Structure 1
Amino acid sequence: MTAAHAHAADALGTTVHGPPAWGWHGRTLGHRTAHPVHGACWLRLLSLPADKAGGKLWEGTERAATAFPGVRKPALHQLHDFTGDGYAYRAELTAYIDEPLLSANPVLRHELALTDTWFATIRTSLSAIADTSTDRTAVRQEWITRAIPEYTGHPAPEITEWTCAHGDFHAVNLTEGATVLDWEGWGRAPRGYDAAMLFAYAQLAPDTAARIRRELAALLDSAAGRAALLIVCAELLQSASRGDHPDLVPKLRSLAEECARSPE
């Protein structure tokens, strides 16, 4: 990955500096770069086995570049695709966003001092995302039907309200300036899915979680919102079964119970 990233930087004429940022299980690698035309940039490299190149994750950033004009996100400058050693690579050169991330980990383990303006911008972004028409899929009913009983012990809801979602809406992909990063997985999901993910990942920071719930009550405090929360709990419990965020599990189980008990 490091050699492929260096190759991509050369191909795009940009100079790498600063520390690396590895994505989930090393599937992506990002670096800040300096480009002679675009200035400060971020070069993100995605890798997949050569026979699996293409599809939703591969095209996510490219398609998001024009799909969400009303959302704060990095501008996409260039793409570069290549193969080597049995892998396909896609390099994405985007504008560098000089704003701190909310957290270095999706699981929020410290309280945040988020402003009213931040929440207003996030609500606007979530509305714009939800109103976007798409043929992409982030969450499937088939997975919901199977996973919720398996990981929460509760019956799975039949989702009737579907909207577009970012699909990975947590503190690593949000900045203190309310810019939304990492657009590879966006697509149709149950209404309120993004708000539910942000809230569920914040359970170890109770004051921030309570603020998120108040500010995004229109998305979370409804039958659709409770269904979305139950779905996200199942998703994060599935991830925990593979060794991720074990400290979050008790909070997720409590949240799932609360959602299952709530009236329709």
Structure 2
Amino acid sequence: MTLSAPSARAVDLRVEPVDIVLAHVEQSLQVELDRKTVVRKRRSVGARTDRRTWVRIERRDLDKIGVQGWNGSECAARLKGIAQPMWRGCVVWQDAGEPVMWRADETELLPGPPIGNAILSEDPKLQDAWWQAFNATLDALAAQDTRRIATPDTITITQALVAEAVRSVAPTQDLDTTVECWVPAHADLNWANMTAPTFSLFDWEDWGNAPRGLDAASLWGSSLAVPALADRVRYERRHDLASRDGKLMTLFMCSKILGPDAHPQDPRLEPARRMAEKVVAELQAG
């Protein structure tokens, strides 16, 4: 009989007690975390330190840590031409009681507050200078070289995953889903991971090579509840999204919005359906 490895329990760090974890990070990094600044997310916790830096702590199942590891923020520190907080150091440890690992990365403070939640419901009214800096960073990122593979939502992106996603939104169509161009991508590009009025892009845990247009399509999907903002994203990243790979990534994003876990009241559903139909027609037309 083959014994399977124990699986980690589902944990939401927004409600899970984390005092022991915070104390471990303080001791390991020799910092004091300002408890009044703690920000909790589903799988990460962050806080400001007494040396004017920021520490982000993430919990990840062992089976979600692939061959390339999970040192995205550390590896992103070598990227050139990217507006991001400087990486200072980290501590990584395996949980004593569960098949999970913890990682705490220390970086410089952000130059401004995050723009909002991952999905926006109001226009942030960003200035042209912000969009210029945004485009400069995404263009510089795509020109880098890496062996890392992007892991959007902690799942390694592959040709098979793209094909499955496209088929889920176009099940009756015989579309060629072959990706032609793979370039470095942030892979978690949304409005919670960028700052304004000064642009900065952070949370680099999942970056790596991905089909061209993944980041643009991801941000477009995060903007659909604000039509003018979604249109602006498509305009600014039109050279990505108009490409064949960009159209595949648009369908990839639509599959996430329209998937079986979609909330019936999600304002993004109808625009995502319309865009999926439009893009499928364009791909069929060649």
**Is residue 22–residue 29 contact of structure 1 (8 Å, CA) maintained in 2?**
yes
1:97-246 equivalences under 5 Å are 97-103=110-116, 105-138=117-150, 139-153=157-171, 154=173, 155=175, 157-176=177-196, 177-238=198-259, 241=261, 246=266
| Structure number with larger C-alpha Rg | 2
Which string of whole-angstrom CA distances, capped at 9 and with x for unpartnered residues, describes residues 106-138 of structure 1? 111111211111111111111111111111112
Relative distance call for 1:178 and 1:57 in structure 2 (3 A) is farther
Q: Distance in 2 between matches of 1:146 and 1:257?
A: 17
Relative distance call for 1:122 and 1:15 in structure 2 (3 A) is same
1:34 to 41, 50, 56: 50
Once the two structures are TM-superposed, the CA of residue 160 in structure 1 deviates from its matched residue by 0.8
Gaps of 5+ in 2: 1-17, 151-156
Gaps of 5+ in 1: none
Relative distance call for 1:51 and 1:170 in structure 2 (3 A) is closer
Aligned residue number for residue 278 of structure 2:
258
1:16 to 33, 36, 40: 33
Q: Work out whether 1:94 is the aligned partner of 2:115.
A: no
1:150 aligns to what SS in structure 2? helix
Q: Distance in 1 between matches of 2:127 and 2:165?
A: 35
Q: Distance in 1 between matches of 2:63 and 2:233?
A: 41
Which string of whole-angstrom CA distances, capped at 9 and with x for unpartnered residues, describes residues 135-174 of structure 1? 1112211101122212453546211111111101111111
Relative distance call for 1:234 and 1:50 in structure 2 (3 A) is closer
Partner amino acid, structure 2, of 1:97? L
1:58-73 equivalences under 5 Å are 58-66=70-78, 68-73=79-84
Q: Distance in 2 between matches of 1:88 and 1:210?
A: 40
- Identity rate, percent: 27
Relative distance call for 1:52 and 1:193 in structure 2 (3 A) is closer
1:39-78 equivalences under 5 Å are 40-49=52-61, 55-56=67-68, 58-66=70-78, 68-78=79-89
TM-score between both structures, scaled by the size of structure 1:
0.87
Once the two structures are TM-superposed, the CA of residue 54 in structure 1 deviates from its matched residue by 6.4
Once the two structures are TM-superposed, the CA of residue 184 in structure 1 deviates from its matched residue by 0.5
Q: Distance in 2 between matches of 1:50 and 1:230?
A: 30
Relative distance call for 1:52 and 1:170 in structure 2 (3 A) is closer
Farther off after superposition, 81-90 or 119-128: 81-90
Q: Distance in 2 between matches of 1:260 and 1:183?
A: 31
TM-score between both structures, scaled by the size of structure 2:
0.81
Q: Give the count of matched residue pairs.
A: 255
Once the two structures are TM-superposed, the CA of residue 212 in structure 1 deviates from its matched residue by 1.7
Relative distance call for 1:202 and 1:152 in structure 2 (3 A) is farther
Q: Work out whether 1:5 is the aligned partner of 2:27.
A: no
Structure 1 or 2: more helix by fraction: 1
**Is residue 82–residue 89 contact of structure 1 (8 Å, CA) maintained in 2?**
yes
Partner amino acid, structure 2, of 1:48? R
**Is residue 57–residue 184 contact of structure 1 (8 Å, CA) maintained in 2?**
no
1:58 aligns to what SS in structure 2? coil
**Is residue 199–residue 209 contact of structure 1 (8 Å, CA) maintained in 2?**
yes
